[in-house]
Structure formats: structure tokens, C-alpha cells
Amino acid sequence: MPSASPDIPNCGGLPAAVSAFADAFVDFAVSGIFFPTNPPPPLPATPAATFLPAPSRLVAIGDLHGDLPKSLAALRLAGLLPPDSSPTSTSWSAGPTLAVQLGDILDRGGDELRLLYFLRRLSISAAAQGGAFLPILGNHEVMNVCGDFRFVTPQGLQEFSSWAGWYRAGLAIKRRCGDLEPPKNPFLGVPKAYPGIRREFWDGIRSRVAALRPDGPIARRFLADLPTVLVVGDSVFVHGGLLEANVEYGLERINAEVSDWIRGVRGDNARAPEYVCGRDAVVWLRRFSEGFNCDCERLKGVLGMIPGAKRMVMGHTIQSEGITAVCGAQAVRVDVGLSKGCGNGLPEVLEINGAGSQVRVITTDPAEAWKYRKQKAAAALEKKGEVKDGLALLVRESHGLKGVEAKA
């Protein structure tokens, strides 16, 4: 460790405490949530397990897309949070339940960071109660790590701008401690100007690139340890879908290589692995989630390649009428378009009990659903004629947002 400069005070032998204080300060400023520091939140060097045994109760929740209030409604519907919990309460109320969230936490809303912090804190609370909350990666997480911000909203950019201010403050605290290893500055090498995009969004884009590029502090902390594919008992969870080539390549290998990419093992500007890019990628595929005329024989063949697998549970494709299943319930689609920025659908969650023998959909109470539909109809009338606020509609050439590259 470098010796302290005479101009920089040392921390009285407490550098770890100062670093932990700076991190807790940033966490609370950004999210309003304190993380336990004894022991500190786990930062695994390897991705989570790919294959898990069937729990006594298994729950699946679809895409959340930056909408914290609607996400809380889904979590309460699933019984993971107390029904009367406050918006900042992360008290797990589901005992040994294992819950899988099907990805797409990012984009289309303004609560992206608060959602990432909230869900990570909930996962810590779940583990302490003998349960588990396990998000997986969606195509929008992959897009953001790639610097593709076409579905970011102005509110989402503002949230990251605010994060950047607090993160810099945390760096400044650590730099005042001469006996601490100099902290890495994630903003170095990130462009400050983005021609073709309105200047008011430049700081938000720069902050987002710094946070979410490979080895960026938000990508490393909240995304790098998430699996791309997860098999729990006889259920396969994947955002888009799997084809034969993916299974042959190896599900554990896919998880490990995507994790290494997000962690920056391949370099800050490394390209995403090919199996998470393109129409037939595991986070983009729609062959088994779109419409009701799926290739059931092909799906059966893919599942047959995974020992014990009976169903594939997917997000990604909005089911406007609620959770659906086809191919004899071998394909279950749980993206209900929950977020206000992406359909504003009614919360629904999938529940699997009895080691896979009992599968049901938990729906919103009919009285609440009726009230909600009336409000949604009224809001739709008010918004008629308004322009969507995705970032791609605020620039002259949206393709210029793909693959923002930061200099090493």
C-alpha cells in the first residue's frame, strides 16, 4: 500500500472504516437504503450457481423496467413483502421461498438505480430468512453494458447524473485518507460530449456509461453476478429463450463468460458474447414467447437436452392479457408489461409448488383490478397524442447511441 503524502491525512489505522463509511454514504444518498456492513454485502468473484434444487415454493416475476411502485406491487402480490410495507422496507416475508425475477430491470423508467439497490437489499434480507431472491439478466441489462441507451428516459438519465455526483463525493472522501489504496475513477476515458444528442442529456449519458460499462461500479456490483440462465428444479428461467446450440455450448459456460464480460475481465470495451447479441440470442429470442403458434416440438427437444427440465419460463415479450402458457405449459411467459413505461399492466406472478407439480398464476384482486383499469383508461385519454419519452426519440440519429466506447 502506498505511504501517505504529508499533505494527505492518514486515517488513524482505520482505512477500512473510512472506505465503508464512504460507501454507505453513497448508498444511502442514492437509494435511501442502508446495507449491512457486518458482514459487508457479498461481492462474489464468480457467477451464481446455474442449477439449483427445487424449493418448497418457487415464484417468478417478469420485467420491471425502472418502475419501483409497480415492482413493489408485484413483490407484495407474490407475498415476498408484507402487504402494508413502506416503499423503503426490504423486509422479506416469504420464509424459504425462492423467487426469480426474469430481468429487464433497466430502461423505460426513472427508478432504475433505486430498483437495483432495492432488489439487492431484498436478496440479502431473503438469504437471512432462509429464502432467495434471484434476478437474471435481460436484454436491456446487456444493452446498457454495451452503451446502447435507446430505451433510456430523461428521468433515467437524471437518476444516473445524481448518482455520479454522490459517487464523486464518495471518491473524494476516500482520497482524503492517505493510507487507502487510491480508488479507481470510473469516469476516466468516458467522453464528455455526444454530438447529435441534446446537450442537456450529456452528463446523464456520461454518468450512465461510467456506471454500466464493463467493470463500471454499478455493473460490477449489481449485474456481474446475475446469471443469464437459471435452472431451478424442473424449471428453466431465461429472459428470451434457449435453442439447442445454447445448451450444447453449456449453460454454466454462458453464465461464467457473461459474468466475466460485465466484470471487465475481457477489458473495459470488450464486445458482449455473441450468445447475448442478435435475434436468436438467449436474452432476445421470441420463438417461444410470441403468439400461440409456437414450435412446440423444437421446444420439447431443447428441454429434453436439460436433465429433468419440464418447462421454460421467459420474460421479454409482453403478454397483454396476463401470464400465458403454450405447448402444454412447457412455455410459460411472465412479462405482463408491468412498468408504466412499458404497458402499465396489472401485476401477476407465477407460483410453482410441490417440486414442480403445482403451477398457478397469482393475479390482482378483481376489485383492485377494476379500479386500476379505470385509472389506466383515464390516464390513456390524458396522454393521447403525447410523444413517448424514450431517449431514442430525443436525438437526431438514434443509432449513434449504440456501443458508446470509453477510452482506456
* Separation between Cα atoms, residue 312 and residue 96, nearest integer Å: 22
Neighbours of 281 (CB within 10 A): 21
User: In sequence order, which residues have a C-beta less than 8 Å from that of residue 124 and are 6 or more positions away?
Assistant: 35, 36, 41, 90
Peptide bond just before 307 cis, omega within 30 deg = no
* Separation between Cα atoms, residue 120 and residue 114, nearest integer Å: 10
pLDDT at 378: 66
pLDDT at 393: 44
pLDDT at 399: 33
User: In sequence order, which residues have a C-beta less than 8 Å from that of residue 381 and are 6 or more positions away?
Assistant: none
pLDDT at 250: 98
* Separation between Cα atoms, residue 207 and residue 185, nearest integer Å: 12
Given 140, 239, 316, 399, the catalytic residue: 140
- Report the Cα 166 to chain-centroid distance in Å: 21
pLDDT at 395: 45
* Separation between Cα atoms, residue 165 and residue 143, nearest integer Å: 24
Which amino acid makes up residue 357? S
Write the CA distances from 399 to 150, 236, 404, integer angstroms: 8, 34, 10
Please list, residue by residue across 377-404, b when 16 or more beta carbons sit within 10 angstroms of its beta carbon and e when fewer do. Answer: eeeeeeeeeeeeebbbebbeebeebeeb
Does the annotation mark 316 as catalytic? no
* Separation between Cα atoms, residue 196 and residue 396, nearest integer Å: 6
Q: What is the pTM of this model?
A: 0.88
Q: How far apart are the first and last CA of the chain?
A: 24
Place of cell 413502506: 86
pLDDT at 403: 43
pLDDT at 90: 81
C-alpha closest to that of 179 among 20, 23, 18: 18
pLDDT in tens, the chain (408 residues): 444 455 555 665 666 788 888 889 899 999 998 887 654 444 444 557 999 999 999 999 999 999 999 999 999 999 999 987 777 778 899 999 999 999 999 999 999 999 999 999 999 999 999 999 999 999 999 999 999 999 999 999 999 999 999 999 999 988 888 777 888 999 999 999 999 999 999 999 999 999 999 999 999 999 999 999 999 999 999 999 999 999 999 999 999 999 999 999 987 778 999 999 999 999 999 999 998 889 999 999 999 999 999 999 999 999 999 999 999 999 999 999 999 999 999 999 999 998 777 899 999 887 777 667 666 666 666 666 554 556 554 443 333 333 444 443
pLDDT at 397: 36
